[in-house]
Amino acid sequence: MENFPVINLEKLNGEERGTTMEKIKDACENWGFFELVNHGLPHELLDTVERLAKEHYKKCMEQRFKELVTAQGLEGVQTEVNDLDWESTFHVRHLPQSNISEIPDLEDEYRKVMKEFALKLEKLAEELLDLLCENLGLEKGYLKKAFHGSKGPNFGTKVSNYPPCPKPDLIKGLRAHTDAGGIILLFQDDKVSGLQLLKDGQWIDVPPMRHSIVINLGDQLEVITNGKYKSVLHRVIAQTNGNRMSIASFYNPGGDAVIYPATALVEKEAEEKNNVYPKFVFEDYMKLYAGLKFQAKEPRFEAMKAVESNVTVGPIATA
């Protein structure tokens, strides 16, 4: 199996820029995932985020998770569990408006550090979107603008812990899914593995690597690129030992952003065969995704296409 793509962002500043851009392009077209090193986020900041996240889990969430496991009777399951995940999570919203001050049980230091972390990730997400634009032949800023909506993008973080699981063959840490949004930036545990992606019919480990940021593409980038880039199925395998930390930040379109394939990327042939992805309002897609997250993405795209054609032909039909 070919190696999981690791991109050294520093190399964009020298004579290896062309090769590095090519690596990013290949990762977007063939993997939907890549791992970034030398991404500009200070290692001390990442170490502090990790320390605070793990302390917070121990102090505020571990006991709650154990009680939930007992209440659901999960320790003694004998058959595969398909309707829940072996994870302990909370969500923080950064944009358009932060809600971090409203989240209970967070130390002031954690709130402050999380804000700094989010600002740096937001900047990195926008830099990456521009690199994708360059590789796609779109004007600089195209993707950022496509995500903007009337209030700017949605940006939030899901802080997860995957505690040791007694029956990892029967319960997933997180069931297989593609991400609904735009571009996802993951800071994951560098000791406990578990994240896997589906490539060519095989589940492949995303290697834990100290101080790296894992990037993956969401459904909206598949739509905007008209399938040139794909969102990819991924899952988390529960482990019998070790508690895996995962801090995933989602840079998504604004709720009222209208998402559709970039004209420059819709080839004439695709248009003639009607192989063009749908046009829709992002929040409408999210409403559909909420109930179908763990199912295939293609029916979601088809459903949005049906809505789009109804919207287009509706008035004509009733005239």
| Cα–Cα distance for residue pair 45/215, rounded to 1 Å | 18
For 237-296, the pLDDT digits (tens) are: 999 998 999 999 999 999 999 999 999 999 877 777 788 999 999 999 999 999 999 999
Beta carbons within 10 angstroms of residue 53's beta carbon:
21
* Alpha helices in 57-192, H assignment, sequence order: 62-72, 108-136, 142-146
Do the strands 33-37 and 6-8 form a parallel or antiparallel pair, or are they unpaired?
A: parallel
| Cα–Cα distance for residue pair 311/316, rounded to 1 Å | 10
| Cα–Cα distance for residue pair 189/193, rounded to 1 Å | 7
For 40-59, the pLDDT digits (tens) are: 999 999 999 999 999 999 99
Cα 89 to Cα 100, 147, 158, 162, 316, distances in angstroms: 15, 26, 7, 9, 47
| Cα–Cα distance for residue pair 276/222, rounded to 1 Å | 11
For 182-234, the pLDDT digits (tens) are: 999 999 999 999 999 999 999 999 999 999 999 999 999 999 999 999 999 99
Question: What is the H or E stretch that residue 315 is in?
Answer: helix 298-318
* Alpha helices in 215-256, H assignment, sequence order: 219-224
Using a 10 angstrom Cβ sphere, with 0-12 exposed, 13-18 middle and 19 or more buried, the burial of residue 32 is buried
- In the chain the domains, ranked by start, together with CATH numbers, are 6-311 (2.60.120.330)
Question: What pLDDT score was predicted for residue 292?
Answer: 92
Average pLDDT taken over every residue of the chain: 93
Tokens encoding 11: 């190399």
Closest CA to 214 of 197, 202, 230, 226: 197
